[in-house]
Structure 1
Amino acid sequence: MILQNVIIRLDDRFIHGQIVLSWLKVLNGKRIIIIDEEMIKDPFMYTLFQMALPDDVSFEIFDCTAGILYLKENLGEVVLVLVRSLSTLEKMYSEGLRFKEVMIGRIPFKNGRRKRCEDVYLTSDEERIIENMLEKEVEVVVQMVPDSERHYLKKKE
């Protein structure tokens, strides 16, 4: 199932100033979905994120399985889907969701990660996931804010 009107962004910070002040306006989005196994268990962060959003923006958090089901059943409106990890994207794809583009906000440095490009550091498993997406002709774009340059990741040779 090809997702229409769905923008998928990998950003471990989820909802923050760039999302609220920039991306929602540019995308004309009124709905945010977070798909994350950890965040679904944190009612404090849910409340905090809900308070940070404008009143006219709806917001929900799902675990990966429920998020996939929701996206399969609720297409039509513009939805910004936020995920923390490439493994979540890989599971979404393996469960039949198809997307033309994945936007990476950042993947910060941690031990065991190597720099792929500015603001993106990957483990070998994350590199494998990116390469698999590129093989499936999913565009992987790194872009912090709407008016910054889009950096398209290419297959490694």
Structure 2
Amino acid sequence: MKITVARIDDRYIHGQVLTKWIKLLPAERIIVVSNEVANDPMRKTLVLSVAPSNVKASAVTPEKMGRVFKNPKYADTTAMLLFGNPSEIVTAVEAGVDIKVVNVGGMRFDPSKKQVTEAVSVTPEDVAAFKKLHELGVELELRQLPGDSKQDFMKILDTKLG
């Protein structure tokens, strides 16, 4: 499988993904990699229903993503991977998904999180997962839109949280 972009965006498939990311980095498949979405039939149906008609969309757990990624049947498939949080990326990488770069797009604020940027708020578990990804050699870039300049998310995280 050829990954066009691996993106954290807890909104999953929405306007920016549909109008910007998928056009700049075309993919045959959009795969939502999320335990929550994959295991909730109603949510899965809702999330996948907004995918463009010319792109196959599916939702899988991070563990299943590891199996799919290694399946020779999908060797030539191009895919955009959408995650809701960094912990599920760690699980996917540990399951064998070869992710070199993660685009940190959006993680909504709630009172249990610390706001790092306008669009990204994190829990202590998220911070630990980002550090683990960094240790695994995964580049973490902050960009809302593909035309935005890349920013080193680990530097931003270190600056904001110390």
TM-score scaled by length of structure 1:
0.86
Q: Distance in 2 between matches of 1:67 and 1:95?
A: 8
Question: Which 10-residue stretch deviates more, 136-145 or 8-17?
Answer: 136-145
The one of 11, 26, 36 equivalent to 1:13 is 11
1:145 aligns with 2:145: yes
Contact 1:102 1:141 in 2 (8 A): yes
The structure that is helix-richer by fraction is: 2
Alpha-carbon contact 2:10-2:85 (below 8 Å) kept: yes
Match of 2:125, SS? helix
Taking a change above 3 Å as real, the CA distance of residues 129 and 149 of structure 1, as seen in their structure-2 partners, is: same
Moved beyond 6 Å, runs of 4+: none
Q: Which residue of 1 aligns with 2:37?
A: 39
1:2-43 C-alpha deviation (Å, 9 max, x unpaired): x74342111111111111111111001121111111212333
Q: Structure 1 unaligned runs (5+)?
A: none
Which stretch shows the higher mean deviation, 9-18 or 113-122? 113-122
The DSSP-based 3-state class of the residue aligned with 2:57 is strand
Q: TM-score, normalised by structure 2?
A: 0.83
Paired residues of 2:31 and 2:58 also in contact (CA < 8 A):
yes
Partners in 2 of 1:52 and 1:129 — Cα distance? 29
The alpha-carbon deviation at position 128 of structure 1 amounts to 1.4
| Partner in structure 2 of residue 129 of structure 1 | 129
Aligned length: 155
Equivalence for 2:70: 72
In structure 2, the residue corresponding to 1:154 is in which secondary structure? helix
**Residue 62 of structure 2 contacts residue 89 of structure 2 at CA under 8 Å; is this kept in 1?**
no
Spell out, residue by residue over 1:23-64, the C-alpha distance to the aligned partner (whole angstroms, 9 max, x if none).
Answer: 111001121111111212333444444442332111111122
**Root mean square deviation of aligned Cα:** 2.0
Identity of aligned residues (%): 24
Shift of 1:149: 2.7
The whole-number CA distance in structure 1 between the counterparts of 2:136 and 2:35 is 25
Aligned amino acid, residue 141 of structure 1: E
Instruction: Classify the secondary structure of the residue corresponding to 2:67.
Output: helix
Give 1:134 shift: 1.6
Deviations 1:49-105, CA, capped at 9 Å, x for gaps: 444233211111112222221112123222001111211011112223332101111
| Residue identity matched to 1:39 | V
CA offsets 1:105-144 (integer angstroms, 9 cap, x no match): 1112122322333321111221111122222321111211
1:103 aligned partner: 103
- Quote the offset at 1:145 in angstroms: 1.4
